[in-house]
Amino acid sequence: MIRSAKTIAVFLGILGVVLFSAKAVMVKMAYQYDIDPIPLLLLRMLFALPFYATLTIIRKPAHPEKIVRKDYLWIVVFGMMGYFAASYLDFLGLQHIQASLERIILFLYPTVVLFMSRIFLKKAITRVQILAILISYLGIIITFWGAVTIDGSDVILGGLLVFGSAVTYAGYLVGSGWLIPKFGSVTFTSYAMTVASLSIILFYALTQDISELWQYDIAVYGISIAMAVLSTVIPSYLISEAIKVLGAPNFSIIGSLGPVSTIILANIFLDERLSSLQILGTLVVIVGIYVVSRKK
């Protein structure tokens, strides 16, 4: 029975990683219809909100007796950090770099988690982890060098924006670590995503004309719905369930499929090509992140 549950969790994890990786490809497809990052991000979260809001109402916290009023304030902070700020920087970065390179850079977030844990939580970084971090960033340098050679200096700006997204998301993971056991992974994710969606709606309403949101090509709305359902709602819960059953270190092995699946999808749908140097850099990054994330 346990083996069967783990097999199902592995399947759910793989499906979640592949679906989530498709997000970058869908963003690049939507950009072909002359839409800016903020309205595209709003459409994604607007179509995802009904699912998260429903689960927010239905699902109750796992351990309500452990929750204090301040915890709900932190959910607002981390929801805006992990799913609003990180997504916005990611969408901005995708204006300048390939979807496959975006996924490789985002894949560095476990190394950023280590640094933040060392600074804010005083957790030591082992020699093996230091070696793994060096390997990961060597891979990024190799991949980045190949991308700059192909695409020019614009890729530097895009890379920095996406790395900023990775840093913000890592901050969300470090900061929310003590809240998930109180609320449960599904409930916490629902709360955080609902907060992020409402924040994006408010931000758009204050800065842009809301009536312009419905003047894009019909294909934009189709892509946004697919992004909301297939690359946001479904994978967020599939990955949470897989991590719950397998544990974060074991799931990290499955997570290494992320950049690979994005490269394949970008090749099929966007006709993106990676040079031999970029492929080498991708493999080096994956090895480094695997070493960072695995058990001692």
> Is the pLDDT score of 139 beyond 60?
yes
Mean pLDDT (whole number) for 202-230? 92
> Is the pLDDT score of 90 beyond 90?
yes
Query: Do 13 and 239 touch, CB atoms closer than 8 A?
Result: yes
- The whole model's pTM is what? 0.86
Q: Give the largest Cα separation in the chain, rounded.
A: 56
**So what's the pLDDT on residue 186?**
87
Nearest to 199 by CA among 91, 42, 50, 93: 42
Query: Do 56 and 215 touch, CB atoms closer than 8 A?
Result: no
Mean pLDDT (whole number) for 179-204? 90
Q: Tens of pLDDT along 141-175?
A: 887 776 665 555 578 889 999 999 999 988 888 87
**So what's the pLDDT on residue 248?**
62
Q: How many CB atoms lie within 10 A of CB 151?
A: 15
**So what's the pLDDT on residue 2?**
59
> Is the pLDDT score of 120 beyond 50?
yes
Cα 269 from Cα 266, distance rounded (Å): 5
Is the pLDDT higher at 232 or at 259?
232
Q: Which domain holds residue 43?
A: 2-293
Nearest to 187 by CA among 236, 226, 229: 236
**So what's the pLDDT on residue 296?**
43
Total domains, the chain? 1
Type of residue numbered 188 = F
Cα 144 from Cα 167, distance rounded (Å): 18
**Looking at 25-34, 148-157, 260-269, which range is the least confident one?**
148-157
Query: Which strand (E) or helix (H) includes residue 14?
Result: helix 2-31
Give residue for tokens 């009904």.
Answer: 50
